[in-house]
Chains A and B, each alone.
Chain A
Amino acid sequence: GESVGLHLPTLSVQEGDNSIINCAYSNSASDYFIWYKQESGKGPQFIIDIRSNMDKRQGQRVTVLLNKTVKHLSLQIAATQPGDSAVYFCAEKGNYGQNFVFGPGTRLSVLP
């Protein structure tokens, strides 16, 4: 498959464990954030989003936490499965028509 990033930080977790992927964002004016999952050879897939007026949002097996004080975003994946192996990106956007700015990505590797 295609290489999304040759030198990405990698997180290795055992199947069934919980995963936490972190992201530091740059713009304190950003008010909307998305986590994407990208598998080899595919485009990024929307996982979950959160607005800046929230601290936490939950989806199916995923939780996003937002700490505006330190400009930090995290994605928690519960009971990680082999199918969760992918590169995960956070993206931030301001509220005045700015484009999305993507983080460098983290490669999640699920070990059997």
Chain B
Amino acid sequence: KAGVTQTPRYLIKTRGQQVTLSCSPISGHRSVSWYQQTPGQGLQFLFEYFSETQRNKGNFPGRFSGRQFSNSRSEMNVSTLELGDSALYLCASSSTGGASYEQYFGPGTRLTVT
């Protein structure tokens, strides 16, 4: 089975711009979660999508949004980028996100905001 894939792997943007990151979960997995990882804050939960619905949301401003498509692929968007948004953005998929919690992570997208 192919693992979780994320595109692009690296991205450089300027303050004020917006960015869209993409995640393709493991085949058959319906839950996709997004995390932000920084050296100072560690791994922080952004949101979870299950069957195209946002099921859970972390404590991030509204500039961070996401969506999930019918094939379970997910995108996250960050608008009006700030320098502090520079981070590794990880997505993780699981089969149901319910009784089975086992999550598998993708390699991440390294976003640098200048």
Give Cα A103 to B103, complex, Å: 16
**A46 & B55 in contact (Cβ 8 Å cutoff):** no
Q: How many A-B residue pairs have CB under 8 A?
A: 62
Give Cα A37 to B105, complex, Å: 11
Partner of A97, one of B4, B35, B37, B55: B55
Tell me the minimal C-beta distance from A25 to chain B in angstroms. Answer: 14
- Which of B42, B102, B106 has the most A CB atoms < 10 Å from its CB? B42
**B102 & A101 in contact (Cβ 8 Å cutoff):** no
Q: Mark B80-114, 1 if CB is under 8 A from A, else 0.
A: 00000000101010000010011111111010000
**A49 & B58 in contact (Cβ 8 Å cutoff):** no
Tell me the minimal C-beta distance from B48 to chain A in angstroms. Answer: 6
**A2 & B110 in contact (Cβ 8 Å cutoff):** yes
Asked whether B64 is an interface residue with its Cβ less than 8 Å from the other chain, the reply is no
**B45 & A2 in contact (Cβ 8 Å cutoff):** no
Tell me the minimal C-beta distance from A18 to chain B in angstroms. Answer: 25
Asked whether B33 is an interface residue with its Cβ less than 8 Å from the other chain, the reply is yes
Q: Which residues of B contact A99 (CB under 8 A)?
A: 33, 45, 48, 56, 58
Q: Mark A75-112, 1 if CB is under 8 A from B, else 0.
A: 00000000000000101010001111111110000000
Asked whether A65 is an interface residue with its Cβ less than 8 Å from the other chain, the reply is no
Asked whether A34 is an interface residue with its Cβ less than 8 Å from the other chain, the reply is yes
Give Cα A30 to B43, complex, Å: 18
Given contacts A34-B101, A97-B55, contact A4 B37 (CB under 8 A): yes
What are 5 A-B contacts with C-beta separation under 8 Å?
A2-B88, A42-B108, A43-B90, A46-B102, A46-B105
